[in-house]
Amino acid sequence: MELWPWLTAALLLLLLLVQLSRTARFYAKISLYCVLCLSFSAVASIVCLLRHGGRTVDNMSIISWFVRSFKYVYGLRFEVRGQKKLEVDGPCVIISNHQSILDMMGLMEILPKRCVQIAKRELLFTGPVGLIMYLGGVYFINRQRARTAMTLMADLGDLMVKDNLKVWIYPEGTRNDNGDLLPFKKGAFYLAIQAQVPIIPVVYSSFSSFYNVKKKLFTSGTIRVQVLDAVPTSGLTDADVTKLVDTCYQSMRSTFLQISRMSQENFAIKEPGVVAAQ
C-alpha cells in the first residue's frame, strides 16, 4: 500500500489547520522553534569544535550569529537603546527580565563580547542544546543544592575578574509572563558585590502583544530593549545587598512598564480593535 498519498493528505490537512486555527499556528511555530534550536545547536557545535576545539567563551560569537537569524523566521524586530553601555572593558554582571523561551533571541541580539550566562543544570542534558551551551562557557547551577550553587557563584566571582568575563543572569529566577516583574533573587547581587564589579540592567518589553501562551498567540512583533546605566558596587558589602536589589528592581520595573505600554499602544494602532492594557 502506497504511503505517499496518505502522507500528502496529512500534510495538506496540517497546513489547512495552521491556516484556520490560531492554536494550530501557535503549536506549529513552537515546534519549529524547537527544531531550529536542536538543528542549529548541532551545526553550531561542530563549527565551535572546529574553530576553537572545545569549551570557551569565544564560542558565544558563533552561537549568537546562528540565533540572531531566528528573528527573520518569526518576523520579530528589536529596537535597542543604550547598547553601547554594555561595551565596557572590564567584568560586570548583566541582569535582565525573563519572560519566555524567546528570551534567548533577545539575549543573543545584544550579547557583548566575553559574556557567559548562568543556567539551571537540567539544560545541560537537553542534547545538542545542552552541548552548545556547554561549549559556549555557560555555567550550570543545581538549584536543588543551595550549598553547591553558592560555591559555584563564589568561584565564578573570582573567575570573572581573572578572565575578564561578563556574566548574564535572570534575577527573577524563572520565566514570568504576568505583565510585571517578579521579586528578584539575591544571587546576582552577591556576585557583583563579591567581585566589586558594576551591575548593568537590561529590560525587554512585554511579549504579550505577539506571544501569549494562554491565548495561543504567536505572531510577528517588535521587542523594545533598554540598557540602563550601570549601577556601581565598589565599596559595597553584603549588608548593602537588599538596598542594591531594590534599586535595580525599581528602575527595571518602571522601565519595563513604560516600554511595554509603548509596544502595546503601537500594536493597537496597527491592529484596530485592540485596546492597550491600562
The pLDDT tens digits of the residues spanning 187-202 come to 999 999 999 999 999 9
Check residue 155 and give its pLDDT.
84
Locate cell 553601547: which residue?
84
Q: What is the pTM of this model?
A: 0.86
Q: What is the pLDDT of residues 26-85, one digit of tens each?
A: 988 999 899 999 999 999 999 999 999 999 999 999 999 999 999 999 999 999 999 999
**pLDDT tens digits for 91-136?**
999 999 999 999 999 999 999 999 999 988 899 999 999 999 999 9
pLDDT recorded at residue 276: 41
- Cβ distance 30 to 218 under 8 Å? yes
Q: What is the pLDDT of residues 130-182, one digit of tens each?
A: 999 999 999 988 776 666 667 777 788 889 999 999 999 999 988 888 889 99
Which residues touch 4 (CB under 8 Å, ≥6 apart)? none
